Amino acid sequence: MTWSPGPVVTRRRLGGELKRLREGAGLKLEDVARRLECSPSKISRLENGKGVPRWRDVRDMLEVYGVADDEQRERLESWARNGRAPTWWQAYSDVLPPVMATYVELEWDAANINAYEAYVVHGLLQTREYARAVLRNAYGSTMASHDVEKLVEVRMQRQDALAPSHGLSFHCVLDESTLYRVVGSPDVLRAQIEHLLVVAEAEHVDVRVLPFSAGLVPGSREAFAKLDYSEGIEHGLVYVERPGTAGEFLADPTEIADHETWLNGIYRAALSERESVPLMERAVRRLEASGG
């Protein structure tokens, strides 16, 4: 895999190292803020990976912490520069909800994603027409059609993360109802399922179906995803979809462990990818027979 950390993970990695250096120097946030003539909250945000680092700030912090090693200084200053790197989704900041913008960043930086979708096909697997129908339903009359089209474009660009060179390993279980629920039109649904069959052929993409016969599996009533990283975010994160257009991030180890347990149960109950393919093929034939 050729995965390398993007801005989000780089900022978190930098923040963790800056915190370690501060604590190693026996300094409090207030001590550093006083030396740099800024607020303690600014230092805290940098350490938590939430602030966008400036090279000068990092340079000054390293001076305060007494970091003299040239190689170490260059590495951390390089992380500061990479943490400010422009990202493609910034061009859509006028229409992308804040929570979704954060998710796109975290998704783009992830090395591995395990997801479960209860109602619709996952965004990384959607066709353009299916995505358009989902987004129109989500926003209704509250968003102009040209802005919805921008969000469709975001969804399409997100799928570049599935390119083999990107390095993402993606595993997704779809509830069987997604093969029946008409989104957009029967033609749109049929094309969507055909797309799933093509995408599932990739070695780094695993698409499975949770059949109706599995019954009600714990955790299967909401869509969520576990995102893992090669570095920078030690225990990963869980993103839970909520009714409407926003979602929720979970970072608490106990909540993450609960969702991992549910994911494991869902994967055990789901058909294998090989067993899922015939189910999807039957869905295509059913739609073709009905004129879809």
Cα(286)–Cα(243) distance, integer angstroms: 30
- 12 CB-near residues (< 8 Å, 6+ apart): 48, 49, 232, 233
- Does residue 110 contact residue 228 with C-beta atoms inside 8 Å? yes
**CATH class belonging to 7-83:** mainly alpha
Cα(69)–Cα(132) distance, integer angstroms: 52
* Residue range(s) in the chain whose domain bears CATH number 3.30.870: 88-289
> Residue 23 corresponds to which tokens in the numbers above?
């604590």
* Residue range(s) in the chain whose domain bears CATH number 1.10.260.40: 7-83
pLDDT at 56: 86
CATH, domain 88-289, list 3.30.870, 3.40.1000, 3.40.50, 2.30.110: 3.30.870
pLDDT at 89: 86
Query: Rounded to two decimals, what is the model's pTM?
Result: 0.78
Cα(101)–Cα(86) distance, integer angstroms: 14
Q: Which tens digit of pLDDT belongs to each residue from 187-245?
A: 999 999 999 999 999 999 999 999 999 999 999 999 999 999 876 677 889 999 876 65
Cα(207)–Cα(162) distance, integer angstroms: 13
Angstrom CA distances, 157 to 114, 126, 150, 151, 291, stand at 20, 11, 11, 10, 31
pLDDT at 232: 61
What is the 3-class SS of 68-84, one letter each residue?
A: CCHHHHHHHHHHHHHHC
Residue numbers of the chain with a pLDDT score lower than 70: 1-7, 83-86, 231-232, 243-246, 292
pLDDT at 165: 87
